[in-house]
Each structure stands twice: as structure tokens, then as C-alpha cells.
Structure 1
């Protein structure tokens, strides 16, 4: 294992990008062949919906005339080449963003570690901190994404979450970069651009909305020595915080008004409201799927049940935001843990949701110095095993027609417990004190 890791490190980063691109192109070609012969398609059903939405734009002007199109119209516009040129072009576009996610991971990790080096050198405490070479850590972090089979398969099947993940990480990169530049004007400009991107990220997927408070707190210029300082941080925004808010509101409002003018209330409902009130009665990884399935023949969950489902998620998000969102050095970890909690505790959990936090996890690798390679592999194997145990009864239910609902629910509980265990271990091993300033 160590020999393989050493070989991985010695390869130039550009070569990794080249190999990963070839792998994704081969998967796209395989998918085209697979779909021609197999009854179980390789291509994601959502991809076909979005391509049909693009066809709707070309034919009658609206992607929402396609039943079950419940995305931002931006995705449909991105798929117009799939209609005009070839159905697989959109997969190439998504795979391209998949590669760019790795580039951002590499750049963000490398810049952050170099910045920490410079801070430590100035304080003459570089020798007291076990900080690894920025190039090596950045390369390993990016390769986790590039060679992760789950991320490669999902993007080449035609899932657009690589695009939204790219926007989320680019937002984070802009904010982190703003702390490092010496010129005040450039720093403020980066914050405003980050706000523009954050508004776009919320428009594409609603979940980045929960990052807003963490971004806001991290940009504050007030210290947090006392409770009064913390309150001041919340209610007395500085120029950077105001620019973030302005950028976010400007971007989100502009996109919403533009598409509302083009497509009316149907856009608001399908792109936004539906995702807040949706009920997914099909089996999924969620702890709550069986409860929703059994209640499908009634009026659904009561207000109390909905509150009980939502409260643990919200409490944990608020706690993680206040614990890790106030400091630049722990901001990537804060965003990762918030995303992890949102996915784990959500009432609907599918494999594509894992991309949301897998894209953010590599940004935190340099902070897990107390976790060895063997332990990291065992944690990842446990997570994969928990999925595999769930997929067995899911396969028997969907393809063999067996009644495995209760077995499936038990495996959902196991997966939920495993995810919480892993989150606890990551928080316990997060090297926070060293870089907290």
C-alpha cells in the first residue's frame, strides 16, 4: 500500500489529470455500448430528463414541459449540445467539471498549506508542527477524487452534481484566497465574487444555503474571546460580510427573476418548492424511508413527525457552524461536516448525494494527521461495506421482487450508525488547535 502511494506521489499532477480524463472517456464509451445491449441502463434516468428539457428549450422554449424536470434551467441549457451534436456530449461536459473539481482541490489544499508554512515560519514554530509537504498532500487529496470509482461513474452516467460541487468548492476557494492576498481591494473583490458564486450554488442545489452562516462568521473581523464578541460577530457585519451578502443576494435574485420571467411559477415550484415538500416513496438509504413508505396511503407525516425528523439535523448544523465556521482554517471542515450531516439525516438519501461531501472531504486531509493510512482505509472500507450491505436487499427488492422492506430498513439503520461513527471519528481527529488563529 505504501509503495503504491509512493508511486502515486511521484507522478506529475498533470499526468493524473490526463489518466483520469481517459478513464472517464472510456466509461462514457462503455456506457453507450452498455445501453445498447442491456435492459438495465448505465445512463442515469435524470440525464435523459435533462436532455429532454434541453430539447424542450429548442422546440417550445421551456424545459419544464418535460414531466419530472425539477432542476435549474441552467442544466438544460448545458445539455443543448447533447441534442444538437450527440447524446453523450453532456456526459463529457459533466466529466470535465469532475476533473476541474480535482484541480480546485489540488489548488486550494496546496495554497492553504503554503500559507500555513509562511505563518509558522514567521513565528519560528515550524519545527513544532508536523505539517507535510504541500505538493504531496495536495496531490493525494486530488487523487482521492480523481480515482474514486463512485465519482467517476456518477459523472459519466450523466449526473450533474460535479458541476454544482465545482461551484461550491470554487466559492470556498475564493473566500480562502481573500484571506491570503495583501491588497485590500482585491480581497474585497474576491469576497463579492464568492457571494455571486454562492448564490449560483444555492440556485443549482438548495443545500449550499446552509453554508451561508459559516461563510458569514468566517469573514468577521471581530475576535471571539467573550460572548459579547460573538454576538457582535453576528449583528455587526464588516465590509467583507456585507459584500458576501450583496453578491449572494444579487446572484440568486437575478437568476430567480430571470427564469421566473421566462418560465413563470412552474419554474419556482419545480426548481425550488418541490424539493422542500417532496416525498420519495421509493427505497433509499435514508433512515426514514420506511416510515414515509408506510405512511404513503395516509395524509403523510404529521407536523410533529416532520419536526422530529428535521430538528436533529438543524441542531447539528448549527453546532458545527458555531464550532468550526468561525475560523478560516477550519472552514472547509465545517462545510464538509454540514454537508455530511445534511445527507446522512435527510429524509431522502441516494448515492448521488454522497458526491456532495466526497468533493469536500479531500480539502480536510491535511487536518487528519493523527489518522494513519491503515485507519483511513479501514474507515473508507467500513463506509463502502455499509453501502454494500444495503444494496443487497435493495437489489432483491427491485430486480427479484422480494419483500425485503424491513431488511432494507435495518441496513439503513446500520448505514446511519456507521456514518455517525465516522463523523465522530473525523471530528475527534481533526487537528483544530494547531491552526486556530
Structure 2
């Protein structure tokens, strides 16, 4: 790649940043106009759920109606110190941490679109973090492609090399961070009111501190990420592997026994990371539980263990859920099930292989700090592919890591173009069938499921396997 030519052709990172900010603000303003004049809303239904939860939080009802139900609330009331705090879970389908409702309380007293601006701001911060990680921690460790020609004898080769390296870092970092900042899927989801950008910020901060070697801060951010949404817990395995990676290499050069190998993964440093991360998760959980009680525990965590979503989505399990919905205990005339049928309906059918593969990939690939992004990317793709519910928002979980992974992939432009075309093409293939179901009311569940299996899962896994084979 011609660094100087690339540097001249690309705008500066600050130009890309300003353009990204403008796009998001324009879309948020447009969403307000669109929602006032159109039956089909631009704003995601989830944003209305978040906003309603924030209102319930700030405006508790009379008596015991719509009030926080935790033991701390009752204890304070018994001592004559009532805490006038509502219950966000009064809003049906709100199944998130109450911290999200707290974050969005300004939508009640400041502006209805405040949450969208928060999510868009998180998008921008994520782009800045990606840029900084690329410049300082990822690109310096990526070998430069060999170039034809030599420097002029009159030039100081060392200084020229340093100048070119700095230009390359800035130009390539701008190019790769633009994949996030200018990605239509990213900015459309955040401006429609999805909260995924907040979780993405916590995940990137975890990665940022890990690259800087600040493992205590990384552990705290991992605990916060897992509290916000449970899936980032899979990243902990790769982090433990990196923390003990130096010891692993020493063990391989030594006796190579399993005991020596395991001692490198279970030691004081890894135990400290695990305790801080788990402690952060449990402290946040206990704090929310003593204020909001069992509704927090059930809606944020327990509900997802047995969640059944029979509506169409990208998951390979959705058609089985559709055929067996509602569950026998909810049916009008419950029918006793055999042991085999109970086993098939068990959440473990999807959860066990999903978590087994996700954690296993982290254990196998997480050995060096340079491989952390690759390990997280593969873990996330596996987790999303085999989740029992999967919507378009879930794609952001692994697309977030793609700009950080691309510099370490020896992929030709033609191959990269094929990957992009296959990914977009399979999305169109699935959405064309989903349109018939959602808007035309046709019974195309089976065809939609087949397209999910053949198109999306096959193509994404093929792309992941291909990029893994091309890993630098």
C-alpha cells in the first residue's frame, strides 16, 4: 500500500469525526420529523420502552404501585426516610439493568431525544477509541508490506522510515475507524434509539485497558459490561489466557506438563483479575437488587435463561420455537411431555453448545495481547450465530471489533469485496423473505428458516473461517 498516496487521498480523522457527528445529529432531527408525519416510525420500539421505564423510575405511583421493591427501600421507609423511587420494570418488556433507565431519565425532564444523543455520543467515543487503539497498540505491531524501490541516498533512511510509519498509522487508522464511524448499520441503529452503543463503549474500554496492561481497570469494565448485558462474560477467558500467556510460553519451553500449563492459567494475577471482575458484577447486581428487588433479578437475568421468542429472527432455533409455542405449561390443555421432549425444549440445547464453543475459542485463541481482538471477534461471532434469538442489533457485537481486526488480516481487496458482497447479499436474501411475513402476512416461516441456515449462517461462518486462515 502506498502510504503517502493513501495519506493524501484520505481526509483527516478529525474530518471523518465531524462528518460522523453531523450525520448522527441530522438523523436524530430527521427522526423527530419523520415520527410526527409517518405511521411507520423511524424510532425503534426499544427506545419507547427505555423512555417509559425512565418515566416510571422518576414518577412512582400512589401506595405500593410502581415503586421500587428492594429491601433497602423498605428499611429506609421503616426508619422514616422514604426514598421516592419508581420501578422501571413496571414497563412491560423492559428487561435491562435499571442503570439504563437512570441514564435516560433526562428524556422525561429535558428532551425526548436525549437518549438518542447519548447513544450517538457513545458511537463517536467508540470511533475515537478504535482510532487510538489502532495508532498506538495495533498498527505498530503489524508488519509493513514490502515496497518496490529504494530511498534516495541523500535521505536519512531512519528518519524517512519513522515519518512513513507515522503517516501510515494515521492514514490506516482513519480508514479503519471510518468503517465504524461511517457504517450505516451502526449510526442508523444508534439514532433509532438502540442502546447497543453504550455496551460497545464498555467493551472497547475493557479492550483499551487490556492493551495498556491496566488489568484491574479492564476487570472493572468487564464486570460492568457483563452487568449491562451478560454476553461479554465470554471475553474473560481470553483475558485470563493473555494474563497468563507469558507463563504458558515458559511452561512450553520447560517440562511442558499439564500441571505446569494449568499453573500459568490459575495464578495470583489471573485470580486477581477474576475476583475484581466478578466482584464488580456482583456489587452492581446486589446494589440494584436491594433497591429494586426480585423484578430486577428476574427481568435482567432469569428471564433470558428461558426466553422464547417465536417471532422471526436470524437464529437457527427460531422455527423450532415457533412450532412449539406456546410452551405446554402455558397452553390451554397442557400435555405431559416425555423425557426426550423435555430435553429438546430445555434451554441447555442451545446454551450448552453456544457457550462451550464461545468459551473454548477464547481459551484456544487468547494467548497473546496481540491476539486478543481476534479471539474476541471469533468468540462473538460464534455466540451470535448460535444464540437462540438474534436480531440485526446483535451484528454490532462483532462488527465493533472488525476495524481492529482488519490490519492483522492478509486479505486481498478482491477477497474482502467478496466477503462484503456475500454478507450484504445474504442479508437481502433473508430480508426479502421476512418482508413477505411481516408486511404481506404470508406463511413463509419454513422458507425463512431455511434461508437463515443456508444463507446467513453458512456465509458468515465461511467468512470467519476464511479470515482466520489468512490471519497474520
TM-score relative to the length of structure 1 = 0.88
The whole-number CA distance in structure 2 between the counterparts of 1:255 and 1:26 is 36
Instruction: Select 1:194's aligned residue among 218, 224, 237.
Output: 218
Q: 1:183: which partner in 2? A: none
The whole-number CA distance in structure 2 between the counterparts of 1:110 and 1:231 is 34
Instruction: Select 2:201's aligned residue among 166, 169, 179.
Output: 166
Instruction: Select 2:413's aligned residue among 373, 380, 398.
Output: 373
Give the drift of 1:308: 4.2
The whole-number CA distance in structure 2 between the counterparts of 1:166 and 1:381 is 28
Q: 1:392: which partner in 2? A: 432
The whole-number CA distance in structure 1 between the counterparts of 2:350 and 2:275 is 33
Larger of the two Rg values belongs to structure: 2
Q: What are the within-5 Å matches in structure 2 for residues 100-119 of structure 1?
A: 100-113=125-138, 115-116=140-141
Using the TM superposition, name which of 46-55 and 131-140 deviates more. 131-140
Q: 1:79 to 1:298 in 2, by over 3 A?
A: closer
The whole-number CA distance in structure 2 between the counterparts of 1:243 and 1:8 is 47
CA contact (8 A) 2:140 2:169 kept: no
2:328 counterpart SS class: coil
Give the drift of 1:403: 1.2
Q: 1:208 to 1:396 in 2, by over 3 A?
A: same
Offset from partner CA, 1:282-319 (integer Å, 9 cap, x none): 00011111111001144396324644434442342243
Q: 1:152: which partner in 2? A: 187
1:378 counterpart SS class: helix
Q: 2:401: which partner in 1? A: 360
CA contact (8 A) 1:113 1:134 kept: no
Extract unaligned runs of 5+ from structure 2: 61-85, 144-157, 330-340
Does 1:133 pair with 2:171?
A: no
Q: How many positions carry a matched residue from both structures?
A: 405
Q: 1:319: which partner in 2? A: 360
Give the drift of 1:233: 2.1
Between Structure 1 and Structure 2, which shows a larger proportion of helix residues? 1
Instruction: Select 2:116's aligned residue among 91, 94, 98.
Output: 91
Instruction: Select 1:80's aligned residue among 97, 105, 130.
Output: 105
Q: What are the within-5 Å matches in structure 2 for residues 231-242 of structure 1?
A: 231-235=262-266, 237-239=267-269, 241-242=270-271
Give the drift of 1:211: 1.0
Give the drift of 1:85: 1.3
1:223 counterpart SS class: helix
Give the drift of 1:345: 1.1
The whole-number CA distance in structure 1 between the counterparts of 2:216 and 2:128 is 22
The whole-number CA distance in structure 2 between the counterparts of 1:326 and 1:227 is 17
Q: 2:381: which partner in 1? A: 340
1:309 counterpart SS class: helix
Using the TM superposition, name which of 79-88 and 91-100 deviates more. 79-88
Give the drift of 1:275: 1.5
* Aligned alpha-carbon RMSD (Å): 2.3
CA contact (8 A) 2:7 2:171 kept: no
Q: 1:390 to 1:112 in 2, by over 3 A?
A: same
Q: 2:243: which partner in 1? A: 219
The whole-number CA distance in structure 1 between the counterparts of 2:142 and 2:226 is 34
Offset from partner CA, 1:261-281 (integer Å, 9 cap, x none): 110011001011112211111
Instruction: Select 1:266's aligned residue among 295, 302, 311.
Output: 295
The whole-number CA distance in structure 2 between the counterparts of 1:320 and 1:22 is 39
Using the TM superposition, name which of 344-353 and 307-316 deviates more. 307-316
Does 1:428 pair with 2:457?
A: no
Q: 1:425 to 1:292 in 2, by over 3 A?
A: same
The whole-number CA distance in structure 1 between the counterparts of 2:271 and 2:175 is 36
Q: 1:429 to 1:279 in 2, by over 3 A?
A: same
Give the drift of 1:338: 0.4
The whole-number CA distance in structure 2 between the counterparts of 1:136 and 1:316 is 36
TM-score relative to the length of structure 2 = 0.81
Does 1:331 pair with 2:372?
A: yes
Q: 1:309 to 1:385 in 2, by over 3 A?
A: same
The whole-number CA distance in structure 1 between the counterparts of 2:328 and 2:381 is 30
CA contact (8 A) 1:286 1:344 kept: yes
Give the drift of 1:6: 4.1
CA contact (8 A) 1:137 1:365 kept: no
CA contact (8 A) 2:125 2:201 kept: yes
The whole-number CA distance in structure 2 between the counterparts of 1:430 and 1:292 is 37
The whole-number CA distance in structure 2 between the counterparts of 1:89 and 1:74 is 16
